[in-house]
Amino acid sequence: MDRPWTVALMFTLLWMQVNCTTGTTSKLCFPSSFMFGVATASYQIEGAWNVSGKGENIWDRYTHTRPERIFDHGTGDVAADSYHQFRQDVRLLKELGVRFYRFSMSWSRILPTGLTNEVNPDGIRYYKELIEELHKNGIEPLVTMYHWDLPQSLQDLGGWTNPVIADYFVDYAKVLLDNFGDRVKFWLTFNEPLSFCHDGYGGSDAPGDRATGMEDYLCGHTVLRAHAAVYRMFQRDYNHRITDLMGITLDMAWIEPASTSAEDKEAAEITRQFFFGWFPHPIFSKQGDYPPVMRKRIDEMSKRQNFTRSRLPHFTKEEVKMLRGACDFLGLNHYTTYLAKRVQRPLSPIPSFDDDMGVQLSQKADWPKSNSTWLKVVPWGLRKTLNWIKGTYGNPPVFITENGISLEPGLRDPRRINYIDGYLRALHAALTKDKCNVYGYTYWSLIDNFEWTRGYSERFGLYEVDYSSKQRVRTARQSAEYYSSVATTKCLPDKVSGYKL
């Protein structure tokens, strides 16, 4: 960040609200400038996968050709039909009383071929109308440029493993900034590169069937180069108002050592660097390379596997310069916590991210469950995560861009209320006691949606979506009322959370 204090001041001034919520009450309240919002993503809610000129993306292709990879064989063809129902969605946002709405733009809806030879007027119209509707209702858009739905035509060229995709991403970003830059102040280049590089190019998310320990690192490299180039272009040509900000959203689960042994403590830190440091280290550290522990382990492992060069690519001097400080704020997605244990595996000639990291992860059996196998409820992990970011990167401005829980269908969802309340108490402690620089909180998600390879089986929404109805009718859950009261009063209700902070 070249201008952290400006950013902090700007956030504070911009969002300063008249209703002071602290006063004399003993309630836990957030500063009046603190922002509450909700998030969604294009492929997960829009549907209209092939209407009005939209091109095919990698999730269209994956769900259509590999249905067995999706738990319930679902697709995003219709999803929550937000392409047609977006005015309804904005009504829900208004009802909640949130300050902002985080959503993503679909690259192939705007550029059907992935490239700028053809700009789809309907894609531009759709997002303009959505933004206009938000503004009419006093809701600020926070736009993610890329939330995993790469145009298939670009995947046919190798997707994020091909360095040229960084240039195409810059071209796409330019179209977004040219068309929406005057009405959108807050931008995120990427959502969770760890997930789409690790799970997409090294696991079973789209595009699938790629190579772990190789393509995941190539993907990460292209994404970081693309992020830096877009951030620099934004700074140079589009950052006209002091309120225009650009960040990147990264996901970090908290990693706790599985025991008090020095080995497990080390394993936990290695995991934090592999899972998280991979992306912010080149941006926030002075060295401008990948975390030293990643560099060392992958370089050494590559050598032992007889590769001539490291499987972890190097940045050029110019790229290092472009990356360093290329961020106005750090978007953080946080859901859960894992335990790390050191493992020694025999040398395998076949590369893998897991072998490079050399850690075994688990979760405690008595941590409260959600409807997703990976998501256990551990609110104190959020406080530790925020403190780790503060300590590791010098307390940068952080915006929580996702936090949420999946539960079974139904409108009574006290466990969701308890989850949000527990995590918000942990966040409040990080903010007020630990002085972590956090400016906003985003619940994932506004409505139920397509949960990638889990299809429609996992529901994160404050509003339930009835997938059997043509209109995809949305109905408020109890948690919507709870969240609305927090978003509008900035205070947590008087009740002790069931979870230890």
Which of the residues are catalytic? 402
* Distance in angstroms (rounded) separating the CA atoms of residues 393 and 329: 12
Q: Does 57 sit near ligand NOJ (CB under 6 A)?
A: no
161 interacts with ligand NOJ by CB under 6 A: no
Task: Calculate the dihedral angle through the C-alpha atoms of 90, 91, 97, 101, rounding to the nearest 10 degrees.
Answer: -10
- The yes or no reply on residue 205 touching ligand NOJ (CB under 6 A) is no
Minimum CB separation from ligand NOJ for residue 44, in Å?
6
Q: Is 96 in the site for ligand NOJ (CB under 6 A)?
A: no
Nearest approach, Cβ of residue 40 and ligand NOJ (Å): 9
Q: Does 333 bind ligand NOJ (CB under 6 A)?
A: yes
Which CB sits closer to ligand NOJ, 147 or 425?
Answer: 147
Between residues 78 and 242, which has the closer beta carbon with respect to ligand NOJ?
Answer: 78
Question: In terms of CB distance, is 333 or 395 closer to ligand NOJ?
Answer: 333
149 binds ligand NOJ (CB under 6 A): no
User: Running DSSP on this structure, what letter comes out for residue 401?
Assistant: E
Q: Does 442 bind ligand NOJ (CB under 6 A)?
A: no
Cα first-last separation, the chain: 30
Question: 3-state class of 140 per DSSP?
Answer: strand
Instruction: Report d(CA 283, CA 299) in Å as an integer.
Output: 21
444, 456, 482, 499: which one binds ligand NOJ (CB under 6 A): 444
CB 501 within 8 A of CB 485: no
Determine if 451 is a binding residue for ligand NOJ (CB under 6 A): yes
Query: How many residues lie near ligand NOJ (CB under 6 A)?
Result: 9
CB of 192 to ligand NOJ, least distance (A): 5
Does residue 150 bind ligand NOJ (CB under 6 A)? no
Measured from the CB atom, is 319 or 402 closer to ligand NOJ?
Answer: 402
Query: Which is closer to ligand NOJ, CB of 352 or CB of 457?
Result: 457
Which of 456, 459, 330, 348 has its CA nearest to residue 399? Answer: 330
Sign of CA dihedral 421, 426, 432, 435: negative
239 vs 385 by CB, closer to ligand NOJ: 385
CA distance 66 to 328: 39
User: Cα(94)–Cα(139) distance, rounded to whole angstroms?
Assistant: 8
Q: Which of 56, 140, 149, 192 binds ligand NOJ (CB under 6 A)?
A: 192
Interface pattern 458-477 for ligand NOJ (x via CB under 6 A): --x-----------------
* Interaction of residue 244 with ligand NOJ, rule CB under 6 A: no
Interface with ligand NOJ includes 46 (CB under 6 A)?
Answer: no
Q: How far apart are CA 16 and CA 26, in angstroms?
A: 21
Helices (H), ranges, 23-81 = 42-45, 58-65
Its sign, for the CA torsion 272, 275, 278, 284, is: negative
Q: Kindly state the smallest distance separating residue 451's Cβ from ligand NOJ, in Å.
A: 5
- Please give the residues from 383 up to 422 whose contact with ligand NOJ meets the rule CB under 6 A: 402
CB 493 → ligand NOJ: shortest distance, Å? 25
Whole-number minimum distance, CB 242 to ligand NOJ, in Å? 29
- Contact yes or no for 180/123 (Cβ under 8 A): no
Cis peptide before 207 (omega within 30 of 0): yes
Give the Å distances, CA to CA, from 183 to 8, 146, 180.
Answer: 21, 18, 5
Q: Which residue, 178, 121, 177, is CA-closest to 145?
A: 177
Task: Pick from 191, 212, 302, 370 the residue near ligand NOJ by CB under 6 A.
Answer: 191
Task: Work out which of 7, 28, 41, 142 binds ligand NOJ, going by CB under 6 A.
Answer: 41
Nearer to ligand NOJ, 130 or 188 (CB): 188
Q: Which is nearer to ligand NOJ, 421 or 448 (CB)?
A: 448
Q: Does 377 bind ligand NOJ (CB under 6 A)?
A: no
Q: Confirm or reject binding of residue 338 to ligand NOJ (CB under 6 A).
A: no
Contact 450, 79 (CB under 8 A): yes
- Collapse the DSSP code of 43 into the 3-class scheme (helix H, G, I; strand E, B; otherwise coil) and give the result: helix
Report in angstroms how near the CB of residue 63 gets to ligand NOJ at its nearest: 15
The least CB distance from residue 494 to ligand NOJ, in Å, is 30
Q: Determine how many CB atoms are found less than 10 A away from the CB of residue 311.
A: 20
**What is the DSSP annotation of 275-287?**
IIITTHHHHHSSS
Q: What span, in angstroms and rounded, lies between the C-alpha atoms of 420 and 377?
A: 10
Residues 476, 152: Cα–Cα separation, whole Å: 35
Interacting residues toward ligand NOJ by CB under 6 A: 41, 44, 191-192, 333, 402, 444, 451, 460
